[in-house]
Amino acid sequence: MRLDAPFVRLPFVVDADALDAEVAALAPELWRAHPEGAPGNTAVPLVAYEGDPQDDRAKGVMAPTPYLAQLPYVRRLLGSLDSVIGRTRLMRIEEEGELTSHIDTNYYWRDHLRVHFPVRTTPDVRFECDGEQVHMAAGEAWVFDTWRPHRVENPSRTPRTHLVVDTIGSAGLWRRIDQPETTPLVVAVDGPEPTLVTERVNQPSVMTPWELEHALDLLLHELDGSDPEVASALDQPVVELVRAWRSAWARFGDAPDGVAHFTALRDGCSNHLRGGNGVLWKSESASARPSNSISLSSTRLVPSRAP
């Protein structure tokens, strides 16, 4: 999710001791390898595809895993966001470990926030985003711009653990992002059980022409800031794609029998861009979109000269 700043500290007050004790009580065998295979990084899935802690996909119906039932204060933190909850995990970086620099540009991350609740950390742990560094302390809550390069370094001799919540947010949560100086929300340990609502819809089978046009406008605008010449060269092919997509939508909508037609439009545009004017449209997406959806909108445009 793009933000106006690399980091925003949210106005929440978290009971750091209660959160740490609750997470520490989890069985060690629940921790599993990082979903994208980052060395020295492990996770406990708390909300996952259909509630399956072994399924790492970020698409489809999300539901609590059995592990979330063991964490009443974590459930209160999720409820405090007043948002539809997507994929959620406890994420740990081993002592003297790191999460290397990367950018989240796949479809899921274009509209999702990543909320961090530090569980266990030390003052020397640094989270870097777009060249800016912060320490996220226990008892705090943060969001950051996942569209910018980011990394985490843990030079200490103890693991760093965060509760990481994926969500598109809500009007209330976005007010707190836009106005972080507002009165903090104290998340109490005791109280009624929160009602948690998890995602059911997070990725279309075929993108509507309006979403496609918006996504490509954003990408071309970003590219125009770094290479106006290349952005200008891409403008007409993108306009033609949107027009053809709109026509196909009037014919098929998102019905299954239109998937092959949309796929042909997507691939035709990609091939044209690769072959025209020596301009290459290259995906930096961490995970490829499925063949029945348009990949151009889930990637960052990277201009380069074809070899």
Q: What is the CATH number of the domain that holds 49?
A: 2.60.120.330
Give residue-wise pLDDT tens across range 230-250: 888 888 999 999 999 999 999
Amino acid type, 196: L
Amino acid type, 109: W
- How does 19-34 read in b/e, with b if 16+ C-beta sit within 10 Å? bbebbeeeeeebeeeb
Residue 232 makes CB contacts below 8 A (sequence gap 6+) with 224
Q: What is the pTM of this model?
A: 0.83
Report the 3 state secondary structure along 204-236.
CCCCCHHHHHHHHHHHHHHHHHHCHHHHHHHHH
How many Å apart are CA 300 and CA 222, to the nearest integer? 9
For helices 209-226 and 228-252, angle between their N-to-C axes, nearest 10 degrees: 180
Residue 273, pLDDT score:
79
Looking at the structure, do residues 55 and 156 belong to the same domain, yes or no? yes
Walk across the sheet containing 97-102 and list its strands.
97-102, 150-154, 126-129, 132-134
Is 194 inside a domain boundary?
A: no
Average pLDDT value over all residues in the chain: 87
Contact present, 206 and 259 (Cβ < 8 Å): yes
Give residue-wise pLDDT tens across range 100-111: 888 887 788 888
Is 230 inside a domain boundary?
A: yes
Is 133 inside a domain boundary?
A: yes
Give residue-wise pLDDT tens across range 179-205: 999 999 999 999 899 999 999 998 888
Domain final position from 155, 187, 219: 187
Domain final position from 187, 222, 251: 187
Looking at the structure, do residues 109 and 29 belong to the same domain, yes or no? yes
Looking at the structure, do residues 117 and 223 belong to the same domain, yes or no? no
Is 126 inside a domain boundary?
A: yes
Range of the domain at 80: 7-187
Contact present, 11 and 181 (Cβ < 8 Å): yes
Through-space distance between the first and last CA atoms of the chain, rounded to whole angstroms: 32
Q: How many domains does the chain have?
A: 2
Looking at the structure, do residues 106 and 249 belong to the same domain, yes or no? no
More confident residue, 105 or 296: 105
pLDDT at 54 over 60: yes
Contact present, 83 and 173 (Cβ < 8 Å): yes
